[in-house]
Amino acid sequence: LCAFVAPAAAQSYPTRSIIMIVPFAAGGPTDVVARIVTAHMAQTLGQSIIIENVVGAGGTTATTRAARAANDGYTLITGHMGTHAASVPLYPKLVYHPEKDFEPVALLAGTPILILARKDFPPKDLKEFVAYVKANAEKVNAAHAGVGSVSHVSCELLHSILDIKPVGVPFNGTGPAMNALVAGQVDYMCDQIVNAVPQINAGTIKAYAIATAERNPSLPNVPTTAEAGLPAFQAQAWNAIFAPKGTSPAILASLNAAASKALDDGAVRKRLLDLGSVIPAPAERTPEALAALVKAEIAKWTPVLKPAT
């Protein structure tokens, strides 16, 4: 007769719900991608994953909190190209470093950038947009999700190509920024596709171009920047899960497996693809591939972005 009973502590991770910090407001692209993928991960892991939207400072407030959280697998963050790459050159006093303070878990989605405008913004196409914002650079404004956010960094790149410095209007995420664009309160925005597809299809905003080499299947009528006359503007962001540094390899492995399983699920894939996301191939979903992406993205953005004042 075996009298051995496994102690509770030997139960495998996770034994309680997990907090997933989203560094922007609910309803924006980071939030939407995180909710789609974590809903499936929760089924795999057998515990709920609670989304906590922590806003401010272009996502760096939340990312600081995640870096300082216990490395026990119960607090994670869905970060992105801004929080885990562009923030490094933009915030010289950043208290976390994406590589030193986090364990990469898994890349969730690639998210092409679009140039969007309020429905009644005068330019009809990208050529007219370029001429219009150059001629009216002092009058027009660009919404974004705070310094260091993807929307901010993408439009900084656009503005440097056009050699203009329009006024930026910061929001706590491009979810609220999109509401302002739909309401006609701001002029234009460079946003991740996930946020834009439903609005473009509903005709509540206009899209001038997608900043990738190919058109996106979810928006077949939106031309690429190259087709529309601005080939220099190329931008695609990404969203990924990170854990605080020192999280155990076993926990990281189960989180990575759950994320990858979610990305193989038909319903998850359909939701992400319908929103225009690019689903990473299995080889791109490993922690090693994400570590390499973060390193490459920091190296790419550091010479491009000047510290914010």
Check the CA dihedral 13-18-22-27 and report its sign.
Answer: positive
The closest residue (CB) to ligand MLT is: 28
**Does residue 205 touch ligand MLT according to CB under 6 A?**
no
**Does residue 24 touch ligand MLT according to CB under 6 A?**
yes
Dihedral of CA atoms 182, 186, 189, 194 in degrees, nearest 10, equals -30
For 87-133, the DSSP string reads HHHH-TT-S--TTTSEEEEEEEEEEEEEEEEETT-S--SHHHHHHHH
> In one letter, which amino acid is 2?
C
Per-residue x/- mask for ligand MLT, residues 153 to 192, rule CB under 6 A?
Answer: --------------------xxx---------------xx
Task: Pick the closer one to ligand MLT by CB: 168 or 184.
Answer: 168
Distance CA 44, CA 262 (A): 8
**Does residue 89 touch ligand MLT according to CB under 6 A?**
no
Per-residue x/- mask for ligand MLT, residues 278 to 307, rule CB under 6 A?
Answer: ------------------------------
Other Cβ atoms less than 10 A from the Cβ of 282: the count is 10
CB of 186 to ligand MLT, least distance (A): 13
3-class state of residue 211 by DSSP: coil
Number of residues that bind ligand MLT (CB under 6 A): 17
Q: The tokens 């009058």 sit on which residue?
A: 139
Which position among 37, 130, 140, 150 is part of the footprint of ligand MLT (CB under 6 A)? 150
Per-residue x/- mask for ligand MLT, residues 91 to 130, rule CB under 6 A?
Answer: ----------------------------------------
Q: What is the DSSP letter of 221?
A: T
**Does residue 87 touch ligand MLT according to CB under 6 A?**
no
Other Cβ atoms less than 10 A from the Cβ of 129: the count is 25
**Does residue 77 touch ligand MLT according to CB under 6 A?**
no
**Does residue 63 touch ligand MLT according to CB under 6 A?**
no
Instruction: Return phi, psi of residue 144, to 5°.
Output: -155, 175
Binding site for ligand MLT (CB under 6 A): 24-25, 28-31, 80, 82, 145, 149-151, 173-175, 191-192
